[in-house]
A = this chain, B = another copy of it.
Protein backbone atom coordinates (compact mmCIF):
# COMPACT_ATOMS: atom_id res chain seq x y z
CA UNK A 1 0.00 0.00 0.00
CA UNK A 2 1.39 3.39 -0.96
CA UNK A 3 1.77 6.06 1.69
CA UNK A 4 3.35 9.39 2.54
CA UNK A 5 5.01 10.11 5.88
CA UNK A 6 4.37 13.79 6.49
CA UNK A 7 6.47 16.29 8.43
CA UNK A 8 8.97 13.85 9.93
CA UNK A 9 12.38 14.92 11.19
CA UNK A 10 15.25 13.32 9.24
CA UNK A 11 19.01 13.78 9.61
CA UNK A 12 20.70 15.75 6.85
CA UNK A 13 24.33 16.75 6.35
CA UNK A 14 24.02 19.72 8.73
CA UNK A 15 21.52 18.87 11.43
CA UNK A 16 17.95 17.85 10.68
CA UNK A 17 15.17 18.75 8.27
CA UNK A 18 11.41 18.30 8.37
CA UNK A 19 10.34 16.42 5.24
CA UNK A 20 7.65 14.30 3.64
CA UNK A 21 8.58 10.84 2.37
CA UNK A 22 6.59 9.13 -0.39
CA UNK A 23 6.56 5.34 -0.57
CA UNK A 24 5.20 3.60 -3.68
CA UNK A 25 5.27 -0.15 -4.29
CA UNK A 26 7.41 -0.64 -1.19
CA UNK A 27 10.10 1.79 -2.33
CA UNK A 28 11.04 5.35 -1.37
CA UNK A 29 10.20 7.54 -4.38
CA UNK A 30 10.65 11.04 -2.95
CA UNK A 31 12.05 12.81 0.16
CA UNK A 32 11.49 16.57 0.37
CA UNK A 33 9.53 19.18 2.30
CA UNK A 34 5.86 19.68 1.38
CA UNK A 35 5.34 16.85 -1.11
CA UNK A 36 1.94 15.93 -2.51
CA UNK A 37 0.13 13.21 -0.64
CA UNK A 38 0.51 9.83 -2.31
CA UNK A 39 -1.59 7.00 -0.84
CA UNK A 40 -2.32 7.02 2.88
CA UNK A 41 -1.08 9.87 5.07
CA UNK A 42 1.13 9.01 8.07
CA UNK A 43 1.62 11.74 10.67
CA UNK A 44 5.34 12.22 11.19
CA UNK A 45 5.15 15.32 13.38
CA UNK A 46 7.41 15.21 16.43
CA UNK A 47 8.85 11.97 15.15
CA UNK A 48 12.28 11.00 13.88
CA UNK A 49 12.51 8.86 10.73
CA UNK A 50 15.53 6.60 10.28
CA UNK A 51 16.38 3.61 8.11
CA UNK A 52 15.72 0.32 9.88
CA UNK A 53 18.69 -1.25 11.63
CA UNK A 54 20.05 -4.76 11.00
CA UNK A 55 20.38 -7.18 13.91
CA UNK A 56 23.33 -8.64 12.05
CA UNK A 57 24.03 -11.66 14.25
CA UNK A 58 21.83 -13.65 16.56
CA UNK A 59 20.70 -17.19 17.36
CA UNK A 60 16.97 -16.99 17.98
CA UNK A 61 16.55 -20.36 19.80
CA UNK A 62 18.81 -19.16 22.62
CA UNK A 63 15.88 -17.08 23.85
CA UNK A 64 14.85 -20.23 25.75
CA UNK A 65 18.05 -20.12 27.76
CA UNK A 66 18.34 -16.40 28.43
CA UNK A 67 19.11 -15.33 31.97
CA UNK A 68 20.12 -18.85 32.85
CA UNK A 69 23.80 -19.46 32.25
CA UNK A 70 26.19 -17.92 34.82
CA UNK A 71 28.99 -15.59 33.73
CA UNK A 72 31.56 -17.94 32.16
CA UNK A 73 33.72 -17.78 29.03
CA UNK A 74 32.37 -19.05 25.72
CA UNK A 75 34.09 -22.43 25.83
CA UNK A 76 32.39 -23.30 29.15
CA UNK A 77 29.18 -21.39 28.47
CA UNK A 78 28.60 -23.41 25.31
CA UNK A 79 29.00 -26.70 27.17
CA UNK A 80 26.19 -25.56 29.44
CA UNK A 81 24.11 -24.33 26.50
CA UNK A 82 24.31 -27.77 24.90
CA UNK A 83 23.24 -29.43 28.12
CA UNK A 84 19.63 -28.59 27.45
CA UNK A 85 17.43 -31.04 25.66
CA UNK A 86 17.03 -30.28 21.97
CA UNK A 87 14.08 -27.98 21.39
CA UNK A 88 11.19 -28.91 19.19
CA UNK A 89 10.44 -26.90 16.03
CA UNK A 90 7.38 -25.27 17.62
CA UNK A 91 9.66 -23.78 20.27
CA UNK A 92 11.94 -22.53 17.52
CA UNK A 93 8.94 -20.86 15.93
CA UNK A 94 8.13 -19.05 19.20
CA UNK A 95 11.69 -17.92 19.87
CA UNK A 96 11.97 -16.61 16.31
CA UNK A 97 8.77 -14.63 16.91
CA UNK A 98 10.20 -13.25 20.16
CA UNK A 99 13.50 -12.35 18.50
CA UNK A 100 11.65 -10.56 15.70
CA UNK A 101 9.43 -8.62 18.13
CA UNK A 102 12.32 -7.40 20.30
CA UNK A 103 14.37 -6.47 17.24
CA UNK A 104 11.50 -4.50 15.68
CA UNK A 105 10.68 -2.64 18.89
CA UNK A 106 14.31 -1.52 19.20
CA UNK A 107 14.65 -0.13 15.68
CA UNK A 108 15.59 -3.25 13.69
CA UNK A 109 13.93 -4.20 10.40
CA UNK A 110 16.25 -7.10 9.49
CA UNK A 111 17.57 -10.03 11.44
CA UNK A 112 20.44 -12.40 10.65
CA UNK A 113 19.52 -15.60 12.45
CA UNK A 114 22.41 -18.04 12.78
CA UNK A 115 19.87 -20.72 13.51
CA UNK A 116 20.45 -23.54 15.98
CA UNK A 117 18.40 -26.53 14.75
CA UNK A 118 16.91 -29.64 16.28
CA UNK A 119 19.29 -32.47 15.29
CA UNK A 120 17.69 -34.73 12.69
CA UNK A 121 14.90 -32.23 12.11
CA UNK A 122 16.92 -29.54 10.38
CA UNK A 123 14.49 -28.65 7.59
CA UNK A 124 11.55 -28.54 10.01
CA UNK A 125 13.61 -26.22 12.21
CA UNK A 126 14.38 -23.87 9.35
CA UNK A 127 10.73 -23.99 8.26
CA UNK A 128 9.62 -22.99 11.77
CA UNK A 129 11.88 -19.93 11.90
CA UNK A 130 11.00 -18.89 8.34
CA UNK A 131 7.30 -19.21 9.15
CA UNK A 132 7.74 -16.94 12.20
CA UNK A 133 9.62 -14.29 10.26
CA UNK A 134 7.10 -14.30 7.41
CA UNK A 135 4.22 -13.95 9.88
CA UNK A 136 5.80 -11.02 11.71
CA UNK A 137 7.02 -9.48 8.45
CA UNK A 138 10.62 -8.76 9.45
CA UNK A 139 13.31 -9.11 6.77
CA UNK A 140 15.19 -12.28 7.66
CA UNK A 141 18.50 -13.83 6.71
CA UNK A 142 18.41 -17.38 8.02
CA UNK A 143 21.77 -19.13 8.23
CA UNK A 144 21.40 -22.70 9.46
CA UNK A 145 24.16 -23.10 12.07
CA UNK A 146 26.17 -26.06 10.84
CA UNK A 147 29.34 -27.67 12.02
CA UNK A 148 31.01 -31.01 11.30
CA UNK A 149 33.30 -31.26 14.29
CA UNK A 150 32.40 -32.01 17.93
CA UNK A 151 32.33 -29.45 20.73
CA UNK A 152 35.41 -30.85 22.47
CA UNK A 153 37.45 -29.98 19.35
CA UNK A 154 36.73 -26.28 19.86
CA UNK A 155 39.13 -25.96 22.81
CA UNK A 156 42.83 -25.74 21.92
CA UNK A 157 44.69 -28.97 22.64
CA UNK A 158 47.68 -27.17 24.17
CA UNK A 159 49.79 -29.95 22.66
CA UNK A 160 47.92 -32.66 24.56
CA UNK A 161 46.60 -35.54 22.44
CA UNK A 162 42.81 -35.67 22.83
CA UNK A 163 40.17 -37.98 21.40
CA UNK A 164 36.98 -36.61 19.96
CA UNK A 165 33.73 -38.39 19.26
CA UNK A 166 32.83 -37.62 15.62
CA UNK A 167 30.07 -35.07 15.10
CA UNK A 168 26.59 -36.48 14.59
CA UNK A 169 26.03 -35.11 11.05
CA UNK A 170 28.53 -35.59 8.24
CA UNK A 171 29.93 -32.77 6.14
CA UNK A 172 28.07 -33.97 3.05
CA UNK A 173 24.77 -34.25 4.94
CA UNK A 174 25.16 -30.68 6.16
CA UNK A 175 25.80 -29.41 2.64
CA UNK A 176 22.79 -31.37 1.39
CA UNK A 177 20.55 -29.89 4.12
CA UNK A 178 21.70 -26.39 3.22
CA UNK A 179 21.06 -26.93 -0.46
CA UNK A 180 17.56 -28.24 0.26
CA UNK A 181 16.90 -25.24 2.55
CA UNK A 182 17.92 -22.88 -0.24
CA UNK A 183 15.60 -24.60 -2.70
CA UNK A 184 12.66 -24.59 -0.29
CA UNK A 185 12.95 -21.30 1.59
CA UNK A 186 15.21 -18.81 -0.22
CA UNK A 187 12.78 -16.13 -1.45
CA UNK A 188 14.71 -12.85 -1.53
CA UNK A 189 11.83 -11.03 -3.25
CA UNK A 190 9.67 -11.88 -0.26
CA UNK A 191 12.26 -10.81 2.32
CA UNK A 192 13.62 -14.25 3.21
CA UNK A 193 17.24 -15.08 2.38
CA UNK A 194 18.97 -18.35 3.24
CA UNK A 195 22.65 -17.84 3.86
CA UNK A 196 25.44 -20.42 4.10
CA UNK A 197 26.81 -20.00 7.62
CA UNK A 198 29.28 -22.54 9.00
CA UNK A 199 29.54 -22.28 12.79
CA UNK A 200 33.16 -21.19 12.60
CA UNK A 201 36.69 -22.49 12.30
CA UNK A 202 36.52 -23.96 15.80
CA UNK A 203 33.89 -26.50 14.74
CA UNK A 204 34.07 -26.65 10.94
CA UNK A 205 36.34 -28.47 8.52
CA UNK A 206 37.72 -26.92 5.34
CA UNK A 207 35.41 -29.24 3.40
CA UNK A 208 32.40 -27.69 5.09
CA UNK A 209 33.61 -24.15 4.38
CA UNK A 210 34.29 -25.06 0.74
CA UNK A 211 30.94 -26.73 0.25
CA UNK A 212 29.18 -23.65 1.63
CA UNK A 213 31.25 -21.27 -0.52
CA UNK A 214 30.23 -23.30 -3.55
CA UNK A 215 26.52 -22.94 -2.68
CA UNK A 216 27.01 -19.23 -2.02
CA UNK A 217 28.53 -18.84 -5.49
CA UNK A 218 25.92 -20.96 -7.21
CA UNK A 219 22.93 -19.11 -5.75
CA UNK A 220 24.60 -15.69 -5.17
CA UNK A 221 24.08 -15.79 -1.41
CA UNK A 222 25.78 -13.82 1.38
CA UNK A 223 28.11 -15.82 3.66
CA UNK A 224 28.28 -15.65 7.44
CA UNK A 225 30.33 -17.26 10.21
CA UNK A 226 31.79 -16.72 13.67
CA UNK A 227 35.36 -15.46 13.64
CA UNK A 228 37.88 -15.21 16.50
CA UNK A 229 35.42 -14.52 19.27
CA UNK A 230 37.82 -15.66 21.99
CA UNK A 231 41.50 -15.92 22.73
CA UNK A 232 41.07 -19.70 22.81
CA UNK A 233 39.89 -19.60 19.20
CA UNK A 234 42.93 -17.58 18.20
CA UNK A 235 45.15 -20.24 19.80
CA UNK A 236 43.14 -23.00 18.15
CA UNK A 237 43.46 -21.42 14.70
CA UNK A 238 47.24 -21.41 14.99
CA UNK A 239 47.21 -25.07 16.14
CA UNK A 240 44.89 -26.03 13.28
CA UNK A 241 46.24 -23.97 10.37
CA UNK A 242 49.70 -22.74 11.34
CA UNK A 243 48.55 -19.29 10.32
CA UNK A 244 45.91 -16.83 11.44
CA UNK A 245 42.28 -17.71 10.98
CA UNK A 246 41.77 -14.71 8.71
CA UNK A 247 44.61 -15.74 6.42
CA UNK A 248 43.14 -19.22 6.24
CA UNK A 249 39.63 -17.99 5.42
CA UNK A 250 41.08 -15.77 2.71
CA UNK A 251 42.94 -18.74 1.22
CA UNK A 252 39.71 -20.75 1.22
CA UNK A 253 37.98 -17.93 -0.67
CA UNK A 254 35.46 -17.28 2.11
CA UNK A 255 36.05 -13.52 2.35
CA UNK A 256 34.27 -11.12 0.01
CA UNK A 257 32.01 -8.07 0.02
CA UNK A 258 29.05 -10.27 0.83
CA UNK A 259 30.71 -12.04 3.80
CA UNK A 260 29.91 -11.03 7.36
CA UNK A 261 31.96 -12.23 10.32
CA UNK A 262 30.53 -12.28 13.82
CA UNK A 263 32.68 -10.99 16.73
CA UNK A 264 36.23 -10.46 15.32
CA UNK A 265 37.66 -9.76 18.77
CA UNK A 266 41.12 -11.28 18.38
CA UNK A 267 42.42 -9.97 15.04
CA UNK A 268 45.81 -8.34 14.56
CA UNK A 269 46.75 -5.55 12.16
CA UNK A 270 47.61 -7.96 9.33
CA UNK A 271 44.20 -9.60 9.72
CA UNK A 272 42.53 -6.19 9.64
CA UNK A 273 44.32 -5.37 6.39
CA UNK A 274 42.92 -8.57 4.86
CA UNK A 275 39.37 -7.63 5.89
CA UNK A 276 39.81 -4.19 4.35
CA UNK A 277 41.20 -5.69 1.15
CA UNK A 278 38.51 -8.35 0.76
CA UNK A 279 35.71 -5.94 1.83
CA UNK A 280 34.39 -8.45 4.37
CA UNK A 281 32.16 -7.11 7.18
CA UNK A 282 32.74 -7.29 10.94
CA UNK A 283 29.56 -7.88 12.97
CA UNK A 284 30.12 -6.32 16.37
CA UNK A 285 28.30 -7.98 19.29
CA UNK A 286 29.52 -5.83 22.15
CA UNK A 287 27.20 -7.10 24.88
CA UNK A 288 27.85 -10.76 24.24
CA UNK A 289 31.60 -10.10 24.14
CA UNK A 290 31.37 -8.50 27.59
CA UNK A 291 29.00 -11.07 29.05
CA UNK A 292 31.29 -13.95 28.02
CA UNK A 293 34.45 -11.96 28.80
CA UNK A 294 35.60 -12.54 25.21
CA UNK A 295 37.21 -9.11 24.98
CA UNK A 296 36.64 -5.74 23.35
CA UNK A 297 36.71 -5.94 19.56
CA UNK A 298 39.02 -3.29 18.02
CA UNK A 299 36.14 -1.50 16.32
CA UNK A 300 37.82 1.92 16.06
CA UNK A 301 40.72 0.25 14.27
CA UNK A 302 38.30 -1.41 11.85
CA UNK A 303 36.58 1.84 11.06
CA UNK A 304 39.87 3.68 10.57
CA UNK A 305 41.09 0.87 8.27
CA UNK A 306 37.94 1.18 6.17
CA UNK A 307 36.49 -2.17 7.23
CA UNK A 308 32.68 -2.24 7.12
CA UNK A 309 31.10 -2.81 10.54
CA UNK A 310 27.56 -3.85 11.57
CA UNK A 311 25.92 -4.40 14.96
CA UNK A 312 24.37 -7.59 16.32
CA UNK A 313 22.73 -8.60 19.58
CA UNK A 314 24.03 -12.20 19.43
CA UNK A 315 21.88 -14.97 20.86
CA UNK A 316 19.88 -14.29 23.99
CA UNK A 317 21.83 -16.78 26.07
CA UNK A 318 24.92 -14.62 25.74
CA UNK A 319 23.38 -11.14 25.86
CA UNK A 320 20.36 -11.76 27.09
CA UNK A 321 18.06 -9.53 25.12
CA UNK A 322 17.47 -8.61 21.50
CA UNK A 323 17.43 -4.87 22.13
CA UNK A 324 19.37 -3.50 19.19
CA UNK A 325 19.46 0.05 20.57
CA UNK A 326 21.31 -1.27 23.61
CA UNK A 327 23.85 -3.02 21.37
CA UNK A 328 24.29 0.20 19.38
CA UNK A 329 24.79 2.34 22.50
CA UNK A 330 27.31 0.05 24.14
CA UNK A 331 28.88 -0.85 20.78
CA UNK A 332 29.72 2.78 20.25
CA UNK A 333 30.64 4.17 23.70
CA UNK A 334 32.59 1.07 24.78
CA UNK A 335 35.46 1.95 22.46
CA UNK A 336 36.06 5.37 23.97
CA UNK A 337 38.18 3.63 26.61
CA UNK A 338 40.31 1.90 23.95
CA UNK A 339 41.68 5.03 22.28
CA UNK A 340 42.67 8.07 24.29
CA UNK A 341 42.21 10.39 21.31
CA UNK A 342 38.54 11.29 21.28
CA UNK A 343 38.75 12.38 17.65
CA UNK A 344 38.62 8.71 16.74
CA UNK A 345 35.49 7.97 18.79
CA UNK A 346 32.27 6.92 17.08
CA UNK A 347 29.61 9.62 17.02
CA UNK A 348 25.91 8.80 17.44
CA UNK A 349 25.39 9.51 13.73
CA UNK A 350 28.17 7.14 12.76
CA UNK A 351 26.62 4.51 15.03
CA UNK A 352 23.30 4.85 13.22
CA UNK A 353 25.03 4.42 9.87
CA UNK A 354 26.86 1.31 11.09
CA UNK A 355 23.59 -0.12 12.40
CA UNK A 356 21.65 0.46 9.18
CA UNK A 357 23.88 0.78 6.13
CA UNK A 358 26.71 -1.24 7.68
CA UNK A 359 24.29 -4.10 8.20
CA UNK A 360 22.90 -3.98 4.67
CA UNK A 361 26.42 -3.75 3.23
CA UNK A 362 27.51 -6.87 5.08
CA UNK A 363 24.73 -8.79 3.38
CA UNK A 364 25.60 -7.42 -0.05
CA UNK A 365 22.35 -5.45 -0.15
CA UNK A 366 23.41 -1.85 0.38
CA UNK A 367 21.76 -0.89 -2.90
CA UNK A 368 18.42 -2.22 -1.71
CA UNK A 369 18.01 -0.94 1.86
CA UNK A 370 19.89 0.60 4.77
CA UNK A 371 19.48 4.34 4.19
CA UNK A 372 16.86 7.01 3.50
CA UNK A 373 17.57 7.09 -0.22
CA UNK A 374 15.18 7.48 -3.14
CA UNK A 375 14.99 4.19 -5.00
CA UNK A 376 15.69 1.98 -1.96
CA UNK A 377 13.13 -0.29 -0.33
CA UNK A 378 11.16 1.22 2.53
CA UNK A 379 12.70 -0.44 5.62
CA UNK A 380 11.84 2.44 7.92
CA UNK A 381 11.44 3.23 11.62
CA UNK A 382 9.63 6.21 13.08
CA UNK A 383 10.56 7.16 16.67
CA UNK A 384 8.23 9.11 18.95
CA UNK A 385 10.16 12.15 20.13
CA UNK A 386 7.50 12.94 22.74
CA UNK A 387 8.44 9.77 24.61
CA UNK A 388 9.76 10.60 28.10
CA UNK A 389 13.03 8.77 27.45
CA UNK A 390 13.73 11.11 24.49
CA UNK A 391 12.92 14.32 26.40
CA UNK A 392 13.72 17.11 26.89
CA UNK A 393 14.26 17.87 23.21
CA UNK A 394 17.95 18.14 22.31
CA UNK A 395 19.68 16.22 19.52
CA UNK A 396 17.30 13.42 18.48
CA UNK A 397 19.99 10.94 17.35
CA UNK A 398 22.10 11.74 20.41
CA UNK A 399 19.13 10.93 22.63
CA UNK A 400 18.35 7.75 20.71
CA UNK A 401 21.88 6.34 20.71
CA UNK A 402 23.32 7.60 24.01
CA UNK A 403 20.11 7.48 26.04
CA UNK A 404 18.00 4.47 26.92
CA UNK A 405 14.90 4.70 24.76
CA UNK A 406 11.96 2.87 26.27
CA UNK A 407 9.07 2.06 23.94
CA UNK A 408 10.17 4.88 21.68
CA UNK A 409 9.49 3.06 18.40
CA UNK A 410 6.20 4.33 17.02
CA UNK A 411 6.04 2.68 13.56
CA UNK A 412 8.01 0.21 11.51
CA UNK A 413 7.78 -0.66 7.83
CA UNK A 414 9.62 -3.48 6.10
CA UNK A 415 9.69 -3.38 2.32
CA UNK A 416 6.89 -0.82 2.60
CA UNK A 417 4.61 -3.01 4.74
CA UNK A 418 3.69 -1.50 8.09
CA UNK A 419 4.20 -3.98 10.90
CA UNK A 420 4.35 -1.69 13.93
CA UNK A 421 1.76 1.03 14.59
CA UNK A 422 1.59 3.19 17.73
CA UNK A 423 4.32 1.09 19.28
CA UNK A 424 2.51 -2.23 18.81
CA UNK A 425 3.22 -5.13 16.48
CA UNK A 426 0.18 -5.45 14.21
CA UNK A 427 0.99 -8.70 12.40
CA UNK A 428 0.95 -11.15 15.31
CA UNK A 429 -0.67 -11.29 18.72
CA UNK A 430 2.15 -10.51 21.15
CA UNK A 431 0.02 -11.35 24.19
CA UNK A 432 -0.46 -14.86 22.84
CA UNK A 433 3.28 -15.13 22.30
CA UNK A 434 3.93 -13.98 25.85
CA UNK A 435 1.49 -16.51 27.25
CA UNK A 436 3.01 -19.27 25.14
CA UNK A 437 6.54 -18.46 26.34
CA UNK A 438 5.26 -18.39 29.91
CA UNK A 439 3.39 -21.69 29.65
CA UNK A 440 6.27 -23.55 28.05
CA UNK A 441 8.86 -22.59 30.66
CA UNK A 442 9.49 -22.74 34.38
CA UNK A 443 11.61 -20.66 36.74
CA UNK A 444 14.98 -22.17 37.37
CA UNK A 445 15.41 -21.87 41.07
CA UNK A 446 18.52 -23.87 41.78
CA UNK A 447 20.32 -24.88 38.66
CA UNK A 448 23.45 -27.03 38.83
CA UNK A 449 25.62 -27.51 35.79
CA UNK A 450 27.24 -30.83 35.09
CA UNK A 451 28.65 -30.27 31.61
CA UNK A 452 30.94 -27.41 32.57
CA UNK A 453 32.80 -29.70 34.95
CA UNK A 454 33.62 -32.06 32.06
CA UNK A 455 35.57 -29.47 30.11
CA UNK A 456 36.64 -27.04 32.82
CA UNK A 457 39.85 -28.71 33.96
CA UNK A 458 41.23 -28.93 30.42
CA UNK A 459 40.11 -25.37 29.64
CA UNK A 460 41.79 -23.92 32.74
CA UNK A 461 44.98 -25.81 32.02
CA UNK A 462 45.20 -24.70 28.36
CA UNK A 463 44.35 -21.09 29.24
CA UNK A 464 46.90 -21.01 32.08
CA UNK A 465 44.38 -20.42 34.84
CA UNK A 466 44.93 -21.66 38.41
CA UNK A 467 43.79 -25.20 39.01
CA UNK A 468 41.33 -25.02 41.90
CA UNK A 469 37.83 -26.16 41.05
CA UNK A 470 34.93 -23.76 40.83
CA UNK A 471 33.50 -22.99 44.25
CA UNK A 472 36.69 -23.89 46.09
CA UNK A 473 38.69 -20.84 45.11
Contact = CB atoms under 8 A, between A and B. Distances in A.
B321 A403 contact: yes
A52 to B, nearest CB: 19
Contacts of A294: 337
A337 B293 contact: yes
Contacts of A391: 98, 434, 437-438, 441
Interface string A302-326: 0000000000000010011101001
A70 interface: yes
How would you classify the secondary structure of chain A's contact residues: helix, strand, loop or mixed? loop
A393 interface: yes
B68 A386 contact: no
Contacts of A376: none
B293 A443 contact: no
Total copies of this chain within the assembly: 2
Contacts of A396: 67, 443
Contacts of A295: 337
Contacts of A341: 465-466
A1 interface: no
Nearest to A445: B15
A343 B470 contact: yes
Given A320-B399, A343-B470, A394-B444, A336 B71 contact: yes
B98 A293 contact: no
A403 B291 contact: no
A9 B443 contact: yes
A82 interface: no
Contacts of A465: 340-341
B402 A323 contact: no
A287 B333 CA distance: 8
A304 B445 CA distance: 27
4 closest A-B pairs by beta carbon, nearest first, are: A293-B336, A67-B399, A15-B445, A67-B398
